[in-house]
Every structure is written in C-alpha cells, then in structure tokens.
Amino acid sequence: MGYRVLVDKEELPMSRLPVIVGFGGFNAAGRSSFHHGYRRTVIESLSAEDRQETLVGLATLMKLVSFTDGQYSDAEGNSYTAEEVASKYEEQILNSTLVRRIEEQHLDVDNVHWHKEATIAPAEGEALTFVTKKKQLPESLPESWQVTELDDGMVKVQLLDGVNVKFDATREMPVKSAGQLPKGFEPGEHYTSRFHPRGLQLTVVAASDAVQSTGIEWQTIVDAVAPDEIGVYASSVMGQNDENGNGGMMKSRLMGKRVTAKQLPLGLNTMPADFINAYVLGSVGQTGALTGACATFLYNLQAGISDIVSGKRRVVLVGSSEAPIQSEIIDGYGNMSALASVDGLTKVLGTPEGEEPDYRKASRPFGENCGFTLAESAQFFMLMDDALALELGADIHGAVPEVFINADGPKKSISAPGPGNYITMAKSLANAAAIIGEESVRERSFIQAHGSSTPANRVTESIIFDKVAEAFDIKDWPISAVKAFVGHPLSSASGDQLASSLGVFKYGIVPGVKTIDKVADDVYDDRLNISVKDVAVGQQGMDVSFLNSKGFGGNNASAAVFAPHIVESMMTKRYGEDAMATYRERREAVRRHAEAYEQAALAGDLKTIYKFGENMIDEADIEISADSISMPGFDNKIDLSAENPYKDMV
C-alpha cells in the first residue's frame, strides 16, 4: 500500500481514532510535558540520568538557578554543572514540590485575615467619640450618630447608642496542607498577565506547554484542516475565585472596594476555553466548557473525542485549570468535613502531642485517612484523528476511544458516592476489551483511581474495582492514585491521571501509593494490587490504563487510555507498513522540533504563547457564499454544504 496524504474527507476512515499528539501543564509535581511531573512522582525509581534531568528541570522552573551561555548559575553568580545543580538543590526541590504545608507567600495559614464581629456601646456616663474624614462617613447616617464638622474636611462623631463593627483579625486555619505548584514557580511571570486570576495564568502556560510539546507549528496544523474542524474544550469547575476574579467581585462591597470591569468576566468558569481560543490558538472553531465537579476534565475529554470520532473535528485541545488554594474555598470544603485537617492528620499519623503532622502524607488514598487535600493544577492534551496524525507525522502518546459518564440516580446526600461509577467502569473495560482484546484488559492494564483520600472513597471505590475485576476475571490489578502526590485539583484531577498514565507507558513504572504504610483494613482488595511502592512493569508492559473519577453530585466518569505501542499496531493494520514507514520518517523531524522546545523549557524558558490582540480578523474580509465561508488568515474554507439527515421525514 503506497502512502497518500489524507486530506479529502471522502478518503478518511469511517471510525476515526482520537490519538494524543501533545500534552502539557503544571501541578505540584512540576511541568507535565515530556513526563517531568510524572518523573517527580517516581523519582526514587528513575535511572540516575533521568533523576538528574528531572531535578535540574525543577531547579530552573523554581528559579533556583538560571541557564545562560551553556552553564547554570545561581543568584550570586556561582556557576554549576547539571550534576552539581542536582546534588546541591535536591533536598530543597523535593521538599518544595508535591503535597506539603501551605507556604506563607501563598497563604499564611497560621494568620488568615478575617473580620471579627462585635457590638460596641458607650460606657455608662461616657460618650463614645471618634474623628474621621467626612467623605468616609456612611451615605446614610444612623440616627444615633451626632456629627460635628471640623477643619480640613474632618468630622467628629459621637455615638449615642451601640453600633455593630467588624474588627480586623487573624486566625489559624484547621487545614494546612495542599498540592501547591513548585515553590518559586509563578505562572504569571511567563507572559503579560496583568489582572489575570491565577487559574487563567495557569491556563495560558499549560495550554502553551501542550501546544509546543507536539513539535508541530500550530499554523501547520491550522493549514491542514478547515477552521471549523478545530475544537477547544476546557473549563474550571469553581471558576476564578481570587481577587482578580469572582472572589474580589463578591466581597468588594463588604471590603469597602469597587468592583472592577474585569473581575466578573475573568471569573467565569468558561474562561479557560475562551482564553485559549483568543490568546493562544486564535481559533474560530468549536468551543465548549463542560463541568462535572471532580470529573470535569473527563467531561471535556468526552466532548473532544466524540467530535473526532464523528468527524466533526480533526484536532482538539482538551483540558481544565483550577487554582482553589484560597482561605474561603478551604473553609467551604473544610466545613463539609471533606478536607484533611491538622487534628485529623495528627490522629491518623499518630503524631506526638505538640508536634505538627507530616503534611507530605496528608493525601492518603486507600490508607487510614481523614479527608482529601486541595491542589492547583492545569492540564491540557492535544488530540487528532489518526489520519491527520499520520499525515503530519505527529508523535503519538496514546489514544482514548471513549469516555463513559453516568449519574447516581436517587440520592440522600448530594456529596455521597453512588452506583453510577459501576456503570462507567464496566463500560470502559468492555469497550477496551472489544477493541484491543480481553487479554490486554485482563493481563496488561492498570487503574488510575479517583483515590480522593476520604474514608468513604477508599471503601466504595475499592468495592467497584473489586467487583469489576471479578466480572472480567482480573487478578492482582495494579492500582495507582496520583492524588497521593499532587492532591485534588477538582476539575483537573483526571488530567493529572492521564498525564501520569502516559508516563507509565513511557517508563514502565506504576507509581505506588507511597504516602501510606499499608492499605486500610476496610478496603476491598482481594483482586487489587494497591502497592505502597513503585511497581516496575517494563516498557510496553501495560497496554491500557483506566481513568476513574467520582465527582460531587453523582458526576461519575471513566475512560480507557491505550498505550502508544497498541495505537501504532492499530494504525499499521489500518494503513499498512509502507504508510507507517513514511509516517515514522516524518515523525523524526517532529520529535527534533519538540526536543528543541524541551531544551528551552529545561533552561527555564517556557516560550509561552500569548497573542493579545495579534492577527485580528477583519470581518469586512470574510467571504460568504452558499457553499462556503473564507476566513482571513485561514488557508482552508469552511464547508457549508449539507445533507438532509431527515430525508425520510420530508
């Protein structure tokens, strides 16, 4: 079979396989592209060379050293080799990544600002008097106030009765751990991010990381497809809740401030997709922002791959971004008894009285635990149909054939787990077995568990896995839980799982649940292998990973992810050896281009794509006919021809 460039829709396969051709992002483990974040989670099991590269990459990301003129140097101008950087900063890097005590520059959990309400009144026989600027008086004065004007715009106020006031105060938070970005890494420093909430800063750098990891210029991809064959599906479940978003807007009146013109629009949970379309890709294609609590990433992934399978889209960017480490959000989840508190961890870990618990072990999936650990993360993945990937020589990291989503039915508690996850997991296994065979599912698969680290989850999720394993005759099923390392970033949780799965396919190491000493006694693990150490399975030792997510409200989602060697085998069967040989030649150039970005990123230059107001489309130049639309800046037209899908009805 000779190789042909597949661009004509008539030549495309009927069943298009959505393949992952690029991925990137940032969480508590560092940068996701080129498996850096994954490698941080299994750093004890890496080769010396991979370990050193991981540490040096984190050192530049965290601004411990810079790389210029072929050498590393610190702020004092001292020069180091890569080996010296890894040795000198290893302990500092390890202690300043993954789940840990919330750092003071992020949030001072020992002295969180709040207002203490009080009622004050004049003492008997005395007047309660104060002086202030006239312009600072309330517009509507209380009847019990007597105001006397003074010089220079000042007034004296005498209170004849009591008044309610709020005193500035601080208090200690009961929750002190989170999955924070590596200390020193500030996403907003990598582009012009003025007034952007932290979640949108993460969106920009993470989406840019994913795009550049492909090794293919974005314009090359755009030129290969029609403008409406591109899709972006991204959101944040909580929205942007810091001072520059909803958080600043909602408390502005109580804080005596004015709402800005940017806080409301930038606070919307659709903004990750909107920012990517406008400032990273410049896309006029399909856009979507689905949310499903902790399963949000998989909701967006389902939308993207469904459009690829149907042929509506040929390339999609899918992801989510969340930056919820804020006192108000911690209070919200904490008051639901959902988070691992200091008191809870002290009891679980048996911490001696007067000492702080080991916050590194706060997130404890399937072990003795007391709640989940909030985290910040943004993860993005570029997917194409297999024909486009073949045409462009894209490097394929895996494939996702389908995402299954099911609700729980009747519920007594909206936050409690329910039966919907049985359906999603069983469907995912059945789907994978039908495509790549029962043996791959039975012998060479593993699970990326939701593993939220709550007492209820460790029981209910393990029961599901155990029952599904029995149904598919699986024994000793490897279970991984990435939240043990990076915490729970809500919408981005399954994005973390997917990035970790791609790392397993590359390095052949399934991360163990290393924050626990043993599996809890009430976990159902007769057919499960929940290891507290990393498990070496070898390269190509796993054919498929199953992602599982259980969200508040009954938002259950599961998906199978095929390993790259499985995908290449499938594509060889579809296109033949000659076409694949030509594809591999093209892939070498793509990999070289990707490696150039990797080397820049390792040196601390993320080359963040942020095109504010660039290449604006002049609407006067849009050409519309009955058959097509031509958009300025796009080589290919948007096809308006359509067939009537309801011929039998008209």
Q: Are 373 and 338 in contact (CB under 8 A)?
A: no
- The residue ranges of DSSP E strands in 65-159, in sequence order, are 66-68, 71-73, 79-80, 99-101, 112-120, 128-133, 145-149, 154-159
- Catalytically annotated residue among 35, 294, 370, 397: 294
**Which stretch of DSSP H or E encloses residue 277?**
none
Residues counted in the chain? 650
397: closest CA among 589, 587, 598, 601?
A: 587
Residue 106 annotated in active site: no
- Catalytically annotated residue among 36, 196, 397, 450: 450
Structure tokens at 382: 């570029």
Scan for tokens 């991204």, then name that residue: 234
Q: Is 561 left (phi over 0), alpha (psi -120 to 50) or beta?
A: beta
C-alpha dihedral sign at 39, 42, 43, 49 = negative
DSSP one-letter string for 28-49: TTEE-GGGHHHHHHTGGGS-HH
What is the rounded CA–CA span in Å between residue 300 and residue 288?
Answer: 8
338: closest CA among 378, 294, 379?
A: 294
Question: 397-413 burial, b if ≥16 CB within 10 A, otherwise e?
Answer: bbbbbbbbbbebeeeee
**Which stretch of DSSP H or E encloses residue 108?**
none
Q: Which residues pair with 444 in a beta bridge?
A: none
Residue 370 annotated in active site: no
- List all residues 6 or more positions away from 233 whose beta carbon is below 8 Å from its beta carbon: 273, 286, 287, 288, 289, 290, 300, 301, 303, 304, 316, 317, 318, 319
What is the rounded CA–CA span in Å between residue 178 and residue 180?
Answer: 6
DSSP one-letter string for 580-648: HHHHHHHHHHHHHHHHHHHHHHHTT-------TTTT---GGG-EE-SSEEE-TT-SSPEE-----TTGG
What is the rounded CA–CA span in Å between residue 316 and residue 311?
Answer: 12
Residue 488 annotated in active site: yes
What is the rounded CA–CA span in Å between residue 428 and residue 419?
Answer: 15
- The residue ranges of DSSP E strands in 74-209, in sequence order, are 79-80, 99-101, 112-120, 128-133, 145-149, 154-159, 163-171, 177-179
Q: Which residues are catalytic?
A: 294, 450, 488
